[in-house]
Amino acid sequence: MEVLYKSTRSNAAPVRASEAILKGLSEDGGLFVPDHIPALDKSLKELAGMTYQQIAYEVMKLYLTDFTEEELKTCIERAYDIKFDTGEIAPLKEAQGAYYLELFHGSTIAFKDMALSILPHLMITSARKNKIKNEIVILTATSGDTGKAALAGFAGVEGTRIIVFYPKNGVSPIQEKQMVTQKGDNTLVVGIHGNFDDAQTGVKKIFSDKELAAEMDAKGFQFSSANSINIGRLVPQVCYYVYAYAKLLSEGKLTEGEKINVVVPTGNFGNILAAFYAKNMGLPIGKLICASNDNKVLYDFFRTGTYDRNREFVLTSSPSMDILISSNLERLIYRITGEDADRNRELMTALNGQGVYEISDEMREGLKDFYGHYASEAETAAEIRRLYEACGYVMDTHTSVASAVYQKYLAETKDNTKAVIASTASPFKFTRSVMNAIDEKYDAMGDFELVDELSGLAKVNVPNAIEEIRTAPVVHDKQCEVDEMKNTVREFLGL
Ligand SMILES: *Cc1c(COP(=O)(O)O)cnc(C)c1O
């Protein structure tokens, strides 16, 4: 059955998957959601015998119904190849009774690669299907991880260009080095003199600039978005939950139909929403455990039914979760209003204006599969140390937030359902925080010295992504003021 995509904010006519991918966001500002969540059409046993790529096809074919089998399989083959340092793509590691689903084996060693390695292929296929002749220009503001993953995904992809703006003094040294060493004639990386919000606001402004859009169209360009609200990012993320279940089943760690709980370190709510979709497709998932850091808007929301972003923004050691507006939550809110676009729009308007909204008791009923908690900075560090000392497994700060929250869940509920914890970044990406958590003595060491130390400690080879930037030449050194962003784009496109 065909799946069409409708907006969360209006009753406008739904669009096909390829159109939703090209557009990113609906014109009314809403997010595209599938008009129904398709059910898995293979048994768990059948899935248990499949590779990652085969499962990705079985899941994605149900959502991207206007893609042909050949188109989709080609996209999957190009995405999940030797860019990943393991044929398993997303291996599971058992540590102290929980299963850590390592989503960081792609080219930029964070889980964004799971979706951003396939999005460019989905996008050019969508462009071809919709007879778009223009070159697609991806415009992104990044606080670190998304920028590099999007660059790596789009670099060298014919028919696309990518421009990334990042706050010049607002990303980690490793993150910056990863971006400014990005090769590819179709890439541009620019450090702006401002913070992430400035970058994000600047990008949104350029996106909605109608004059610029017309000028670009005349020259054969059009913008699109690699942002996590694009369904072309959400759908590929559903696959690894199905894969994790299939893998546990094939290894005899589960009996067919046995439930698992899923724990996700959450920022923009994309990753955990994908788990929710997997559950609604029929994957036996019990609780969806949503883990936050000190920016615990979601924890408060699940406890009280009030979403309130009016609070201090805290900088933590898990920066990819430092977020006060979780954009993908809108898809869940829409669903628990009973798919009432008007009601959802009211709530989102309140969030934009007053920064707060409250949901009804009836809507809260729709959240009963979710459990929210958070981990402080001290708890996050202690959890890294605890797991390392207990079994030698070293995880990154984001994963540790999830792991610590899982411990709280266990203590509170005594629910011993097997748990899969989404492990969203390699510890090598956040080496200093990770090593300091294990022992304060490491603070005196240099960045790359720490990398070697971690490699010895964790008995894990230094990932390619890190080896590369040790010696890679800087190829992007462009900087600009916030109000020069548009000109920078024009210049790059030769307008
Ligand atoms: C983006 C990111 C997250 C948050 O994921 P969402 O889908 O935005 O909730 C968590 N950890 C890492 C390492 C990330 O890069």
Query: Ligand 1: distance of its center to the CA of 168 in Å?
Result: 21
pLDDT score of 196: 80
Which ligand 1 atom is nearest residue 267's CA? 9
Protein residue closest via CA to atom 8 of ligand 1: 268
Which ligand 1 atom is nearest residue 144's CA? 15
- Catalytic residue list contains 112: yes
pLDDT above 90 (res 175): no
Which ligand 1 atom is nearest residue 269's CA? 9
Mutate to test the pocket of ligand 1, among 290, 320, 326, 370 (most ligand atoms within 8 A of CB): 320
For 445-494, how does the pLDDT look when each residue is reduced to its tens digit (9 = 90+)? Answer: 988 899 999 999 999 999 999 998 888 999 999 999 999 999 999 999 99
Which ligand 1 atom is nearest residue 273's CA? 7
pLDDT above 80 (res 287): yes
Protein residue closest via CA to atom 4 of ligand 1: 267
Which ligand 1 atom is nearest residue 396's CA? 13
For 347-395, how does the pLDDT look when each residue is reduced to its tens digit (9 = 90+)? Answer: 999 998 999 999 999 999 999 999 999 999 999 999 999 999 999 999 9
Query: Ligand 1: distance of its center to the CA of 68 in Å?
Result: 30
CA distance 457 to 435: 10
Ligand 1 neighbours, Cβ below 6 Å, are 110-112, 145, 228, 265-271, 320-321, 398, 424-425
For 390-437, how does the pLDDT look when each residue is reduced to its tens digit (9 = 90+)? Answer: 999 999 999 999 999 999 999 999 999 999 999 999 999 999 999 999
pTM across the whole model: 0.95
The whole-number average pLDDT for the span 257-270 is 97
Mutate to test the pocket of ligand 1, among 109, 114, 145 (most ligand atoms within 8 A of CB): 145
Which ligand 1 atom is nearest residue 104's CA? 13
Query: Ligand 1: distance of its center to the CA of 265 in Å?
Result: 7
Query: Ligand 1: distance of its center to the CA of 320 in Å?
Result: 5
For 92-121, how does the pLDDT look when each residue is reduced to its tens digit (9 = 90+)? Answer: 999 999 999 999 999 999 999 999 999 999
Which is catalytic among the residues 6, 112, 148, 177? 112
Query: Ligand 1: distance of its center to the CA of 468 in Å?
Result: 23
Give the confidence band of 227 by pLDDT, cuts at 50, 70, 90: confident
Mutate to test the pocket of ligand 1, among 107, 397, 424 (most ligand atoms within 8 A of CB): 424
The percent of residues above 70 in pLDDT, for the chain, comes to 100
pLDDT score of 99: 98
Query: Ligand 1: distance of its center to the CA of 271 in Å?
Result: 7
Query: Ligand 1: distance of its center to the CA of 322 in Å?
Result: 9
Mutate to test the pocket of ligand 1, among 31, 107, 111, 400 (most ligand atoms within 8 A of CB): 111
